[in-house]
Amino acid sequence: MQTVIYQNLGQVEYKRAWDYQEELFQRVLAARTETGKVSGKGYLLFCEHPHVYTLGKSGQSNNLLISDQFLKQINATYFQTNRGGDITYHGPGQIVAYPIFDLEAFGISLKDYVHLLEETIILTLKHYGVTSTRLDGATGVWLDVGVKGKERKICAIGVRASRFVTMHGLAFNVNTNLDYFNYINPCGFVDKGVTSLQKEFGNLVNFAEVQAKLLESFVTLFDLKLVESEIPTFNN
């Protein structure tokens, strides 16, 4: 069992959350450097972001289909990041999870880690009676895989790992405004759809309850012991 500090940051501007992740990431790396051993220390951050598009380091900028002027019109921002993956959208009604984990402490590979991230969503969706799975050749969690014209992503995943320490993570569409995905090729795909729990059910879902269920899935699958700490104040 690994002890992890859990913080629900609420809604926070993307760059502030990214800077905070970098700070925690460096703490974990520093703890390892000082001891010469795995840090045995980790963080799990949940949050929401105002409307923002983020591009992974291997992504194509032309997958953002709108101009800077239109970005302003829809009250959105855009960032090129150091995570893996292509372009995605974050916004209100979406659970974003940022684990800063030392994978050596967990005894897992990066491939296993991504698999477990996907499994947290699959397990959470199962609680709501929604069957989901993986799609060969693409990270994330999908519905109706193998059904031509109906495959749709409900959770995107993009991570960074350095010296076995992770950052960035997953974005789970709960009550997300899916119209914002019309302005990108999500994760670089032009022939796949996106969805949310709200769209699947036809009504708003209890967001706090979904967060709690996702947290339970993290605890179960990663064998976590959660501890509380003071949550930083972000002035958006």
Q: Do 59 and 135 meet the contact criterion of CB atoms below 8 Å apart?
A: no
- Would you list the DSSP string of the chain? -EEEEEEEEEE--HHHHHHHHHHHHHHHHHHHHHHTS-----EEEEEE-SSEEEE-TT--GGGB-S-HHHHHHTT-EEEE-SSSSSEEEE-TTEEEEEEE-BHHHHT--HHHHHHHHHHHHHHHHHHTT---EEETTEEEEEESTTSTTT-EEEEEEEEEEETTEEEEEEEEESS--GGGGGGB-GGG-SS-EE--HHHHHTS---HHHHHHHHHHHHHHHHTEEEE--PPPP---
Task: Check 97, 125, 187, 215 and give the catalytic one.
Answer: 187
Measured distance CA(117)–CA(119) in Å, rounded: 5
**Does residue 47 have an active-site annotation?**
no
Task: Return the closest-CA partner of residue 184 out of 76, 82, 92.
Answer: 76
Q: Do 209 and 191 meet the contact criterion of CB atoms below 8 Å apart?
A: no
Q: Which residues are catalytic?
A: 187
